[in-house]
Amino acid sequence: MTTMGSSDASNSSGGLTRVSYKIPTRGLLGLRNAMLTATKGTAVLNTIFKGYEPWSGEITTRDLGSLVAHETGAVTGYALESTQARGRMFVAPGDEVYNGQVVGIHQRAGDLTVNVCKRKAATNIRSSGADAKIPLTPPVEMGLDDALEYIEEDELVEVTPESVRIRKGPLLKKNARGPKI
């Protein structure tokens, strides 16, 4: 990637630093969130189109894999309780998912197929209120920018009036997709 950088820091700027870089537009995906996180929300990011340039090389992407839904149905708190130990989730109990939908970020490299629709086995032994006490981490909210930043080559972003979802593509079923290499 071709970058030209400069830095302006003066005592009169009140401790602020101005940094100017020339980077490809595709390199801007995710930059805003990274800058806001690194500066605790104080960064200001402005972009100006400079012109067209030849291909400037690969841009590194995420190191972690995806958690992919195993079946179609409604997400249950019972299934999320064990699944959230595998990574950060994009879905909450009651959300509708389908086979091949990305439902979270795996904590390791490579994709993992998970069953977020699994129901608790029906037995005659019940503990009153036990299901209401399942400790769940709130899901990661994914907007369009976040989803575009997150996806890899084998993933697609679906945008509807109600939601932004990520799916494995172009084939949804795991045995049709084949292993990820």
Domain locations in the chain as residue ranges: 1-52, 66-176
Are 165 and 141 spatial neighbours (Cβ–Cβ below 8 Å)?
no
pLDDT mean over 75-87: 91
Q: What is the pLDDT of residue 39?
A: 86
Q: What's domain 66-176's architecture? A: Beta Barrel (2.40)
Percent of the chain topping pLDDT 70: 80
pLDDT mean over 11-28: 76
Q: Which two tokens stand for residue 101?
A: 């939908």
- Residue 170: which residues within 8 A CB-CB, separation 6 or more? 156
- Enclosing H/E stretch for 157: strand 155-159
DSSP 28: G
Q: What is the pLDDT of residue 128?
A: 56
pLDDT in tens, 106-148: 999 889 999 999 988 777 565 555 555 668 889 999 888 888 8
